[in-house]
Chain A
């Protein structure tokens, strides 16, 4: 599952292929890993997890262990689905397809590695390995004027977060003498460690005081890669908190986390309303949505949070792909310059509608289920509930703004949308509706946690 994308990346880097072959190879390898992941599911349901072990640094007792449990396999599904769609999308979108695909494949395998890790250093290993391809893709394929500086900013933020995490991991290791997630607990660990880890993950998620990199990076990156960054990479932060802080250290959430979550939800939403650039709007909405994930974590609902990571990855990447298509067809990304696309591009309108409805969290979309799970777990704190609901209203508002400004109003002149841009989006939309109709499939699987 892990090695397939790496192999594909190596193959693509050195071979001379045509565009079509590159696309087929990259998507094909993603589909192959997806089948491997699917084949794990029955075993996971039966025995709780799949475990593989290879020696890595034997003298310190670090193994290269891969563990698949319900939580990780569902996140892997999201990663592979979204990246497959993004690679397919980039077939008609990116000019320099080869380098782009290599970067994306390495990025994907690093993320899969993070999800399957069983010890702290392996986790960190993949966590940092994610940064390099992302950095180069933003710097090399970015769609704005300041892509170089944005990439450096992205790198600095990511590196600070990662080094904070590394520092605390090493600290924990010297105290506890083991790096395995399963053997660790809070006994004897200084209180600063979880705080540092939490801050590290929050930087990745773009939670409020650490969000500064996110709107720039996500709006400068090319659309298919924004889909990966915004849909998947920030979700990794949430996954990290669930895996390390909730499942390993078993920490109770504190009021600070709840406050940060609520503030982030509102802040992201309000900032999103003020944007006229569709990609920046979506980037701020990602901040807001990560607030929802953190809210799920703050109310100790690991499944709710994980479910929201899952659904958010699907609909946010769908929306970024839609934004990419809009930019492709209408040639603009500010809302003043586009409008009336519902009559011009009806097919795009359908998938974008699915995405925006999901963003708003309306039934029958999958995100409705995850948001309900999070709100349900919140308990009876009236103020918090009120704030959370108002964040929901703000989300509804900017969703409607987006819908009206892009798809209604005075029609603009557009280019025809190629089928290869539309099909991957339709695939994601289909999955979103399917998961929305049968949410138990995923939420049950996620409940099987190690």
Chain B
């Protein structure tokens, strides 16, 4: 029901030229009050946050965002493979249009994304077709033994999530898109891909080792690439790839709860990080961290939000990603080699987050940053959520 509602609102808001944003937000807020699962709640919440921080969005942006959310929520409430696929595609189509802007770099990024994404889509369709041909059913309970279908599925969802070796579009898109769109991409769209993959994974009787290996390779490549990045948007893009690989690792190891917890925690932390850093980038007109020394230091709320979100992403307690990474670690500790690689990746990521946080916080910046009231409220809300879910993980765990 919820996805249809969202789509309806999206369609309507195209016609209401004025105050679309507020209408959209009110509808989202009403939806939040409905009974949603935790993941759906988080996605809708992040949609709301995105609309709040968007500086004068065009009406079509609002409806596209709502479309995207409708698709995302739909993926999570789908009851068979094909419905899931349709909703996912709907979200993706909305994302193509969200990226569209008349500038050479952006079109280039969009073309790259569109190209890869459509290949991914055809892989997913192939995989679905094979499953249907084999089992005669599209229910989640169907059990397929075909390795081809599984490989197509991994490739398809790998492209959508941006897992290495299908990650070529991620950094390009994240570094050119505007911040609210990036938040939607990193915190909602890629996570929907992960959640969809998590739902479909049990259909295949074999292949968890492939997923684990792919995840390990992917996180290592992403973290190593992030180490040398000087542009924080690209850095956070690679770190998102790494975190999606952690989720894949958990899925491959059969730890669905760990994966879900990590999706929730990472969505919230990465959106806080992108919003805080996006505000800085927008005021300073650059996202090169060498030019942003001490940029966050002049504003306490911004400084706090940046520290909390970045160290949360680094997986340092008392912040929430620590708990979900601990859960993932529990699920893979049976093989010390896998656990060791995972720990090594946590170390690598810790280094670049710490370095980024240090550059942003320390140093004398000439400019004094001011936040608008909405921005301040959004950041405070996110920080409060991050800290409280970190200290009391039971808040989330009891709802998964």
Chain A nearest CB: distance from B365 CB in Å?
A: 13
Other-chain residue from A14, A128, A131, A174 in contact with B322 (beta carbon distance below 8 A): A128
* B-contact 0/1 string along A138-178, CB 8 Å cutoff: 01100000001001100110011001001100110110000
Please state if A132 and B311 are interface contacts (CB–CB under 8 Å): yes
Please state if A56 and B394 are interface contacts (CB–CB under 8 Å): yes
Query: Majority SS of interface residues in chain A?
Result: helix
Judged by a CB distance under 8 angstroms, whether B284 is at the interface is no
- Closest residue to A127 on the B side, CB-wise? B317
Cα–Cα, bound, A55→B393 (Å): 11
Cα–Cα, bound, A98→B361 (Å): 15
Q: Name A1-29 residues within 8 Å CB distance of B.
A: 13-14
* A-contact 0/1 string along B356-378, CB 8 Å cutoff: 01100110000000000000000
Judged by a CB distance under 8 angstroms, whether B250 is at the interface is no
Cα–Cα, bound, A373→B350 (Å): 40
Other-chain residue from A129, A136, A159 in contact with B350 (beta carbon distance below 8 A): A159
Please state if B347 and A148 are interface contacts (CB–CB under 8 Å): no
Complex contacts, B361 vs chain A, CB 8 Å: 136, 139-140
Judged by a CB distance under 8 angstroms, whether B336 is at the interface is yes
Other-chain residue from B343, B355, B397 in contact with A163 (beta carbon distance below 8 A): B343
Other-chain residue from A56, A167, A173 in contact with B343 (beta carbon distance below 8 A): A167
Please state if B329 and A166 are interface contacts (CB–CB under 8 Å): yes
- Say yes or no: A155-B354 contact (C-beta < 8 A), given A128-B322, A129-B318, A174-B330: yes
Please state if A152 and B330 are interface contacts (CB–CB under 8 Å): no
Q: How many residues of A contact B (CB 8 A)?
A: 34
Other-chain residue from B317, B339, B392, B394 in contact with A167 (beta carbon distance below 8 A): B339
Complex contacts, A139 vs chain B, CB 8 Å: 358, 361-362
* A-contact 0/1 string along B312-342, CB 8 Å cutoff: 0000111000110010011001101001100
Please state if B343 and A57 are interface contacts (CB–CB under 8 Å): no
- Closest residue to B334 on the A side, CB-wise? A174
Other-chain residue from A57, A136, A140, A170 in contact with B394 (beta carbon distance below 8 A): A57
Judged by a CB distance under 8 angstroms, whether A368 is at the interface is no
Chain A nearest CB: distance from B9 CB in Å?
A: 37
Please state if A151 and B358 are interface contacts (CB–CB under 8 Å): yes
Cα–Cα, bound, A156→B336 (Å): 22
Judged by a CB distance under 8 angstroms, whether A77 is at the interface is no
Complex contacts, B46 vs chain A, CB 8 Å: none
Question: Is the interface on chain B under 10, 10 to 19, 20 to 34, or 35 or more residues?
Answer: 20 to 34
Judged by a CB distance under 8 angstroms, whether B351 is at the interface is yes
Judged by a CB distance under 8 angstroms, whether A124 is at the interface is yes
Cα–Cα, bound, A59→B323 (Å): 13
Please state if A159 and B300 are interface contacts (CB–CB under 8 Å): no
- Closest residue to A155 on the B side, CB-wise? B354
* B-contact 0/1 string along A359-399, CB 8 Å cutoff: 00000000000000000000000000000000000000000
Cα–Cα, bound, A276→B345 (Å): 40
Please state if A129 and B397 are interface contacts (CB–CB under 8 Å): no
Judged by a CB distance under 8 angstroms, whether B304 is at the interface is yes
Judged by a CB distance under 8 angstroms, whether B124 is at the interface is no
Cα–Cα, bound, A14→B394 (Å): 28
Please state if B362 and A166 are interface contacts (CB–CB under 8 Å): no
- Closest residue to B353 on the A side, CB-wise? A155
Other-chain residue from B316, B355, B394 in contact with A55 (beta carbon distance below 8 A): B394
Cα–Cα, bound, A13→B300 (Å): 8
Cα–Cα, bound, A167→B397 (Å): 23
Cα–Cα, bound, A420→B184 (Å): 53
Chain B nearest CB: distance from A363 CB in Å?
A: 43
Chain A nearest CB: distance from B392 CB in Å?
A: 8
- Closest residue to B301 on the A side, CB-wise? A14
Complex contacts, B304 vs chain A, CB 8 Å: 13
Please state if A57 and B393 are interface contacts (CB–CB under 8 Å): yes
Please state if B330 and A148 are interface contacts (CB–CB under 8 Å): no
Judged by a CB distance under 8 angstroms, whether A107 is at the interface is no
Please state if B394 and A121 are interface contacts (CB–CB under 8 Å): no
Chain A nearest CB: distance from B353 CB in Å?
A: 10
- Closest residue to A156 on the B side, CB-wise? B351
- Say yes or no: A152-B358 contact (C-beta < 8 A), given A57-B393, A159-B350, A159-B351: yes
Other-chain residue from B334, B339, B351, B394 in contact with A155 (beta carbon distance below 8 A): B351
Chain B nearest CB: distance from A101 CB in Å?
A: 14
Chain A residues in the interface with B (C-beta under 8 A): 13-14, 55-60, 121, 124-126, 128-129, 131-132, 135-136, 139-140, 148, 151-152, 155-156, 159-160, 163, 166-167, 170-171, 173-174
Known: A139-B358, A148-B358, A160-B347. 10 other contacts (CB 8 A): A57-B394, A125-B317, A125-B318, A126-B317, A129-B318, A132-B311, A148-B362, A155-B350, A163-B346, A174-B334
6 nearest A-B residue pairs (beta carbon): A125-B317, A140-B362, A139-B358, A159-B350, A155-B354, A139-B362
